[in-house]
Amino acid sequence: MKLDRVQITQFRNLTSVSLSPSPALTIIKGVNGSGKSSLIEALYYLGFGRSFRTNKHSSVIQNEKNSFSVFASCKTEEGDELKLGFQRSRNETFTCSINGEHSNKLSDLVSLVPLQLFTPQSTDLIIGSPSERRRFCDWGLFHVEHQFQSLANQYGKFLKHRNALLKQQANLSAPQNQYWESQFSELGESLSATRQGYVDTLTPIFKQYSQEFLPNFDVELSYYKGWEKDVGLSESLVKKREYDGKIGHTSSGPHKADLRLKVNGVNAQELLSRGQLRMAVAALQMSQTKLFNKATQRKSIFLLDDVGAELDADKREQFIDGLLKMDTQVFVTAIESTQLAFIQKYNEKKMFHVEHGSVKEE
Ligand SMILES: Nc1ncnc2c1ncn2[C@@H]1O[C@H](COP(=O)(O)OP(=O)(O)OP(=O)(O)O)[C@@H](O)[C@H]1O
């Protein structure tokens, strides 16, 4: 899917902005504080319904205004036109709109907008908590496996119930709790197998990209399912019942899963420099883009914020080259043109200049 036209209203310093991006490469230039990241952040709302910079929706609403909105006219792979929108007001309600129909179900909107982001904070994917890596995996699954979201939601409900029982010091082996235990472990096994399958498919693609981005290292990706290796989830739950009762929550299950990245046999963050960690993240994201394209026959959108600060010139070029080769719609922000000297070679591109929150095509 490609964004054809975008309209942003009352979003941070962007009072009223509209632009028609390139279906291939869109460059957004401007000095510090001009509004480049805000533009990227507004687009991110279409793919996630939230910001990547703050948990407080009210922070992105323009000072002294009551709401913000992002609208986009899009072209699907089938050539259909889609009109999408996201609005949020200070009283915490949001509305999505799809071809004029309003919905309060975020997944209706975000399932239509497969979007990824690379920023100066993207190394958190490797050095941050396991939840970052589960989110990475689940983005792919959400867009590729239609049943995934309902499976993950159901698992979440049973986990909540089990944790509530643990907090009440309930006896989980009592007959009245057997149904909950067996359903929980069945859903957990199923969710885990789905994630494992995804990582197994992603791994060879990632291997190829990591050879490109980190040619001097032997990089291995693996999935940790969230409990002991050689036992089923139900067995692990029984083994840990007493411990779980003491801590008041469930310590085994796919909610504890992780992706592990080893480089030359050790954890990636032990060996790689910051720049190399960024390259590893780029390789992970590229492989996910490739897998998404292959599995769905659709194209995705990629936002690169402040790419100049993140990767050296060669890697920057390699990253953007690779994404454009996959027909991804790429948005890149930069302070100066010198950070993106190589873009001269692309024919299909548009350049925008942001100044005090207004955007002009160059
Ligand atoms: N809620 C808000 N209302 C109005 N302006 C805001 C709001 N939140 C942030 N701003 C301002 O918006 C401006 C744009 O910020 P933004 O982060 O988009 O800049 P940028 O061009 O990405 O800068 P940099 O190159 O330094 O990252 C800043 O001057 C910021 O103070």
pLDDT score at 202: 97
Asked if residue 71 lies in contact with residue 6, where contact means CB atoms within 8 angstroms, the answer is yes
Question: DSSP states of 245-312 as a string?
Answer: HHHTS--SSGGG-EEEEEETTEEHHHH--HHHHHHHHHHHHHHHHHHHHHHHS---EEEE-SGGGTS-
pTM as predicted? 0.95
Q: Is 188 annotated as a binding residue?
A: no
- What SS3 state is found at 315? helix
Q: What is the mean pLDDT of residues 57-70?
A: 97
Sole residue written with tokens 């396991």 = 130
Residue whose CB lies within 8 A of the most ligand 1 atoms, among 12, 306, 333, for a mutation test: 12
Q: Which of the listed ranges 120-124, 125-129, 317-321 does the model predict with the highest average pLDDT?
A: 125-129
Sign of the alpha-carbon dihedral angle for 319, 326, 263, 131:
positive
For residue 78, name the pLDDT band (cuts at 50, 70, 90).
very high
Question: How do residues 20-50 score in pLDDT, each as one tens digit?
Answer: 999 999 999 999 999 999 999 999 999 999 9
For residue 93, name the pLDDT band (cuts at 50, 70, 90).
confident
Q: Is 37 annotated as a binding residue?
A: yes
pLDDT score at 58: 94
Question: From CA 77, how far away is CA 73, in angstroms rounded?
Answer: 14
Question: How do residues 316-345 score in pLDDT, each as one tens digit?
Answer: 899 999 999 999 999 999 887 777 788 888
Nearest Cα to 181, choosing from 225, 236, 226, 134?
236
Least confident of 153-167, 186-200, 327-341: 327-341
pLDDT score at 336: 79
pLDDT score at 308: 73
Is the ipTM reported for this complex over the cut 0.95? yes
Question: Which pair of tokens denotes residue 6?
Answer: 């975008």
d(CA 11, ligand 1 centre) in Å: 10
CB contact set of 131 (below 8 Å; sequence gap of 6+): none
Q: What is the mean pLDDT of residues 203-228?
A: 96
With 70 as the cut, is the pLDDT of residue 196 above it? yes
Give the chain's mean pLDDT.
95
Residue whose CB lies within 8 A of the most ligand 1 atoms, among 38, 45, 336, for a mutation test: 38
Strand segments, DSSP code E, in the chain are 2-11, 14-19, 25-29, 67-75, 81-89, 94-98, 101-103, 115-118, 219-224, 258-263, 266-267, 301-304, 329-334, 349-355, 358-361
Q: Is 35 annotated as a binding residue?
A: yes
Question: From CA 155, how far away is CA 186, in angstroms rounded?
Answer: 9
pLDDT score at 344: 85
Residues with CB under 6 A from ligand 1: 12-13, 30, 32-38, 59, 61-63, 335
Atom 11 of ligand 1 has which residue's CA nearest to it? 13
Q: Can you list the domains of the chain with their CATH numbers?
A: 122-297 (1.20.1050.90)
As a whole-number percent, the residues of the chain with pLDDT over 90 amount to 89
Nearest Cα to 116, choosing from 135, 134, 102?
135
Q: Is 30 annotated as a binding residue?
A: yes
- What distance lies between CA 194 and its chain's CA centroid? 18
pLDDT score at 306: 85
Question: From CA 282, how far away is CA 166, in angstroms rounded?
Answer: 41
Question: How do residues 243-266 score in pLDDT, each as one tens digit?
Answer: 999 999 999 999 999 999 999 999
With 70 as the cut, is the pLDDT of residue 310 above it? no
pLDDT score at 105: 92
Question: DSSP states of 111-144 as a string?
Answer: TT--EEEE-TTTTHHHHS-HHHHHHHHHHHHHHH
